[in-house]
Structure 1
């Protein structure tokens, strides 16, 4: 791993029986799968949800975005809170919040209620991710077992995001759109029933009280900045977007200055002094940006352009989901064999090539370009995401694992939110510039009232927007690959037990 220095020596975590440890990991994988699935499960549900609740274009984006925004804004805080009050305690509390919010979302009578429910799911999800990954350090004190467990964890996290649309498609084929939320309930009940018995409690008692001003500054900085960027991308740069984004920048600047002065900061900025760690975080950010845009736009393409139902569209997403899952399992081993820097460069480049292959996709042809391109991109995403998680956990002492994971997972969730907000909005701008269309392709087809010429033109405009958005995503991936190649250390160490 990166040679980030521990800030203090800590006693080794007590050994946990191997059988119990792997049973604990199985329980920890449940919330990971749910949280990552709920990032993407709505992609296929949006057309049917729109017909039922009739949300405006802005409400549609908030239904998709608010979940990721709140997770991104709260992950660092929840990681630190788990270090203090207990990682198992906050995991179970978060599961309860997530479950209640899922029920509200499933039966939401209006777009506003659904947005509020998705926000509460984001609050619950922010407690689940850092706690689950940080508990691995307690469950697996042996380096080899811990590295293997991290690989499995990452495979489920990355694979969950890729498999979300598939599960959504199967459910939508048989049930109404709310079923994509109700599927969370039995899984969370299993977690709440078995978690107290198979998961160890861990607190980092050396920490002082949680710095509440830092909590307020981190949330108050991230949300306005992301909203300002999103508003500018969707509506153009105006006074509102500039003022809101500047508020976010100012608050984040104050937040960073405060972290440098605190003995026990909410965000340990010393981790970023190591180029290897920074490259890993940057890779997760741009990787999730492009993956979110790719999954969202191709889900709409397969339904509204090619005319497939949700289940048929979901089946076509299986190759990418399988690629992400398989290569997440082997990413750390590949990183040890060929070097983390070379693996990051290859993974980011492969993801970029896969995105660029969507240029072969047209309104009436090119499905094989999508299948091959998305699969190649999935290989790259899987490799990169495993290394990110491995760096985040193994480069810090156990008592800082929660906050380090918070940084890593914030980059994932922020990348997802930015991918939908920026690249999704870019595709929408290109689409609307192609003619006098409604806000979305689905609305345009509805309002066309069977006019074949208008529908054909709208579909062509959407495909053009998809091409440009995924090309921008590929460009960002290539830029990050160049940074990884020339700005990171020649040798970023990877745990030799990883992937075994």
Structure 2
């Protein structure tokens, strides 16, 4: 007797399923916008709160640092206690803490608020992708849904500067955080009705030691990278790296020895899975690193208003979204590993374009580079996330999605930590401070371009002019350096993707 092919086919998504996807996109859009909207608010924050260069980096980095360390544990908890439940708890907490961040009176308070935002972001983010894995059983529909998710994530990252420009044109810098409140409300209202609960029917016990080991691996690792990029090798850097490696090894050994591990680390023995995670991480690295300096260049070097600077990036945003959706059709005819490799290669071309044009490159050149980058990000993010999710069973979707998002957030941390720190270091090395500045003014002007711009406003023209000219030249010299490094890394990423993702014969 022939099998009933009709009944064995995966269930197709209904209208309510697609409506649930729309609701799930709200936190994805918000968190991805939040990752980059802050880049456009950095000049305003620099003027209002007067942070040091390192504090400014921590305002950006602490969120991703906490998020990256907690994503895997929270993904596992979602599998155990319910993904929708954690989604709603995380969304409510994120909205409340975002409102508190908007009222921060100083840089230290803002950094603490951003850390709490990272905590609640880690609670809700694994749930979005894992719920998609369980909502869409049909492989083609799942890939389309993931394409929409990836378009929201990468497109939202590109939309951040536009939203930031619009808000900063009319409101104080705190408005970029208050945005979370109206975005999260529809999710909290509609989510319980549209999104079905899902969890692992046979979860393992909660393992607090594994949670501590993940934090012990991720937190010192990222801190070491930040410190190394900012000030070079040192004893604290070596110590942090040693702790990270020791905790990471202990975590892997513990997962391999447990009958029901928090994370199935054996997935990393599959070249396709590991290659997809690396493609995910490095493509986000390129996006966040690029946005870190293009947002400051457009405002502080080109002299555009926040709104005008954001509008310059709209074409790149559209390219990112379109590319993410188009690859679903393209991979029907072109092998997945070829598409991802080409996407990462486009990222390398974008960085090369900026590196070659240097300080004489126009805003039009930056726009073209960002469009190339958007095409590469849209393709690589969609397909790498699909490969990661497809590698594990639906019952472990939370842990698998947490790996994907850990790669994303680690890439975001590294993009800012490595490229941002190198940019600040090059800026501080090349700036020539004019005579007549006080000690505090010299410290602020030599730390960041935003600091130099703020100092120049209180100086007479014969001192402010040379200071601004030197600061902008020093900033663009740092952009050439970081773009060159970015291009080399993307070439390496493309080679790795081609070798690890191609089918084995």
TM-score, normalized by length of structure 2? 0.92
* Map of 1:439 onto structure 2: 447
Q: Unpaired segments of 5 or more residues in structure 1?
A: 1-11, 493-500
**Equivalent pair of 1:360/1:366 in contact (CA under 8 Å):** no
* Map of 2:322 onto structure 1: 326
Q: Which residues of 2 match residues 290-305 of structure 1 at below 5 A?
A: 290-305=286-301
* Map of 1:461 onto structure 2: 474
Query: Are 1:484 and 2:480 matched, yes or no?
Result: no
- State how far apart, in whole Å, the 1-side matches of 2:504 and 2:362 are: 40
**Equivalent pair of 1:349/1:481 in contact (CA under 8 Å):** yes
* Map of 1:262 onto structure 2: 258
* Map of 1:4 onto structure 2: none
**Equivalent pair of 1:306/1:364 in contact (CA under 8 Å):** no
1:459–1:17 Cα change, 3 Å: closer
* Map of 1:24 onto structure 2: 20
- State how far apart, in whole Å, the 2-side matches of 1:181 and 1:491 are: 47
**Equivalent pair of 1:305/1:363 in contact (CA under 8 Å):** no
**Equivalent pair of 2:356/2:480 in contact (CA under 8 Å):** no
* Map of 2:153 onto structure 1: 157
**Equivalent pair of 1:27/1:195 in contact (CA under 8 Å):** yes
Structure 1 residue 436: deviation in Å? Answer: 4.4
* Map of 1:498 onto structure 2: none
* Map of 2:176 onto structure 1: 180
**Equivalent pair of 1:275/1:489 in contact (CA under 8 Å):** no
Deviates more, 1:372-381 or 1:233-242: 233-242
Structure 1 residue 491: deviation in Å? Answer: 6.2
Structure 1 residue 359: deviation in Å? Answer: 2.6
Query: Are 1:472 and 2:495 matched, yes or no?
Result: no
**Equivalent pair of 1:82/1:131 in contact (CA under 8 Å):** yes
1:170-213 deviations in whole A, cap 9, x for unaligned? 01001111111111101111100111110000110211112110
- State how far apart, in whole Å, the 1-side matches of 2:220 and 2:227 are: 10
Find 2:112's aligned residue among 113, 116, 119.
116
1:388-414 deviations in whole A, cap 9, x for unaligned? 111122222111111011111100100
Q: Unpaired segments of 5 or more residues in structure 2?
A: 1-7, 434-445
- State how far apart, in whole Å, the 2-side matches of 1:362 and 1:190 are: 44
1:208-235 deviations in whole A, cap 9, x for unaligned? 1121100010012100111011011112
1:268–1:458 Cα change, 3 Å: same
Structure 1 residue 27: deviation in Å? Answer: 0.5
1:85-142 deviations in whole A, cap 9, x for unaligned? 0000000000011011111011111212211111111111112221011111232222
Q: Which residues of 2 match residues 70-469 of structure 1 at below 5 A?
A: 70-363=66-359, 365-436=361-432, 438-448=446-456, 449=459, 450=461, 451=463, 452-469=465-482
**Equivalent pair of 1:351/1:377 in contact (CA under 8 Å):** yes
Provide the secondary structure at the position in 1 that maps to 2:201: coil
- State how far apart, in whole Å, the 1-side matches of 2:240 and 2:268 are: 27
Structure 1 residue 147: deviation in Å? Answer: 2.0
1:379–1:14 Cα change, 3 Å: closer
Moved over 4 A (4+): 12-17, 360-365
Structure 1 residue 17: deviation in Å? Answer: 6.3
TM-score, normalized by length of structure 1? 0.93
- State how far apart, in whole Å, the 2-side matches of 1:150 and 1:315 are: 27
1:333–1:272 Cα change, 3 Å: farther
**Equivalent pair of 2:295/2:309 in contact (CA under 8 Å):** yes
Provide the secondary structure at the position in 2 that maps to 1:301: helix
Give me the CA root mean square deviation.
1.8
1:310-332 deviations in whole A, cap 9, x for unaligned? 11110111121111111111223
Structure 1 residue 13: deviation in Å? Answer: 12
1:12-71 deviations in whole A, cap 9, x for unaligned? 999686011011011000011011111111101011112111222221111100111111
Q: What is the number of residues matched between the two proteins?
A: 481
- State how far apart, in whole Å, the 2-side matches of 1:146 and 1:16 are: 10
**Equivalent pair of 2:47/2:454 in contact (CA under 8 Å):** no
Provide the secondary structure at the position in 1 that maps to 2:447: coil
Structure 1 residue 463: deviation in Å? Answer: 0.6
Deviates more, 1:433-442 or 1:476-485: 433-442
